[in-house]
Amino acid sequence: MIILVVNAGSSSLKSQLIQTDGKRSLLKALAQRVGKPEATITFTFGDDRNAQKETREIPNVTISDALNMVFDLLESDERSPIESLRQIDGIGNRVVSGGEYFTQSVLIDDDVLSKIDECSAIAPLHNPPAVECIRLMHERLPKTPQSAVFDTAFHHTMPAKAYHYPIPMRYYDEYHIRRYGAHGTSHRYAASQAARLMGRAEEDLGLITCHLGNGGSVAAINHGKSIDTTMGFTPLEGLMMGTRSGSIDPAIITYIMRRDNITFDEMDDILNKQSGLLGVSGLSGDMREVLAAADQGNERAKLAVDMYVYAVQKAIGSYYAIMTRTDAVVMTAGIGENSAELRKMIFSGLAHMGMILDNDKNQVVGAIGSDRIISVDDSPIKICVITTDEEIRIARETDALIVLAGRGD
Ligand code: ADP
């Protein structure tokens, strides 16, 4: 099938046309800084080896305008990989929050859409643009099935003791405040690929998956089910991230707000966009840049890297404590997949738990898509590197939902 995957964020739109049979990317479009004067959209034609790129400046466009540009290009540009929009068999939407409504991916109908819209209350930056895109695509392609693949769905198996917060229960009853987690698609994919790599059934394994990208979260996956994850009510909780603080003493927030007399929005911005690696290093939220500065002796950058590593180690250790067994720790996303240096720092502190890194295997720079085990052969707990591919996963889930509903070819 040919599936268009759409990932609408607060200021970006990622979309990819994927042929699910051959796992081939036919076209990628990435609109960044949407709504701002410096907005751009970049199209990548073809798969990675022969890809050609074109970037256009699109000042002040809305997310709908950007999506319309993707459709216009697919419809009428001579480089379009399809001849007609009717060749698109389905559309897979990444939806950040499915709240308590959705425990798995679904095909979208009016009821589903209104529930996604309702969940905007708990994901105000992400669900509204997704709803806007789903509506627009329904207008342009009313007969094409659309799915919603939720970041939160994989974590619905968490037990009550993991998803409740120790605050008055009225906030759960009335405002639905609880842990929902995120990156579910990536954790699920990393777990299933790791099980395949180990030649074992997921149901027989205990896995700790670490999605370490610009955002970061760790999940405890016991016998194929997520039993806990570090992100919470929002993606702000848990690990220190590129620009997010992760978990801090909540009293710090009210203290700073009172002392600096700042608004809720300003505090939100500090915690989400000015903290993490950026806040501590004072330089950047990008791990590569922080590592480079640390290598050159920048003390704040070194501290930021040390704090990052420490947060990941603590998360792995705490999940080891709550699992019934731990067979592997799985590293994925930008930092987890690419930084041998960070992996070495993380696991050099965890050997006593039976996670023993093979330094040579860790150094091998794998080709894209090369999932591998990087622990020593007799390590009691394996360490795996898995290349995450959320778009492929969304495309495959959409393909499966369409087949199941009898709406495919
Ligand atoms: P997103 O969460 O936006 O999808 P990614 O998964 O692409 O982000 O991760 C981006 C992060 O990965 C950035 O901090 C980037 O610096 C880091 N990263 C990518 N390659 C490397 C590398 N070779 N060494 C260290 N960090 C890297």
Ligand 1 closest atom vs CA 333: 6
Q: What does residue 345 show for φ and ψ, rounded to 5 degrees?
A: -65, -45
The C-alpha atoms of residue 352 and residue 159 are separated, in whole angstroms, by 29
Q: Is 228 a catalytic residue?
A: no
User: Which candidate in 48, 110, 151, 360 is catalytic?
Assistant: 151
The C-alpha atoms of residue 207 and residue 217 are separated, in whole angstroms, by 14
pLDDT in tens, 259-303: 999 999 999 999 999 999 999 999 999 999 999 999 999 999 999
Instruction: Give the mean pLDDT of 71-75.
Output: 94
pLDDT of residue 25: 87
Average of per-residue pLDDT values in the chain: 94
pLDDT of residue 409: 53
pLDDT of residue 368: 55
CB of residue 333 inside a 6 A radius of ligand 1: yes
Residue 267: Cβ-neighbour burial (10 angstroms; 0-12, 13-18, 19+): middle
pLDDT band at 105 (very low <50, low <70, confident <90, very high): very high
pLDDT of residue 370: 79
**Amino acid, res. 242:** G
pLDDT of residue 50: 72
pLDDT band at 365 (very low <50, low <70, confident <90, very high): confident
pLDDT in tens, 83-96: 999 999 999 999 99
Task: State how beta strands 13-19 and 24-32 pair.
Answer: antiparallel
pLDDT over 70 (residue 371): yes
Ligand 1 closest atom vs CA 242: 14
CB of residue 305 inside a 6 A radius of ligand 1: no
Bridge partners of residue 372, in order along the sequence = 385
pLDDT of residue 408: 57
pLDDT in tens, 343-363: 999 999 899 999 999 999 999
pTM over 0.75: yes
pLDDT of residue 369: 58
| Domains defined along the chain, listed by start | 2-150 (3.30.420.40), 201-385 (3.30.420.40)
Length of the chain: 409
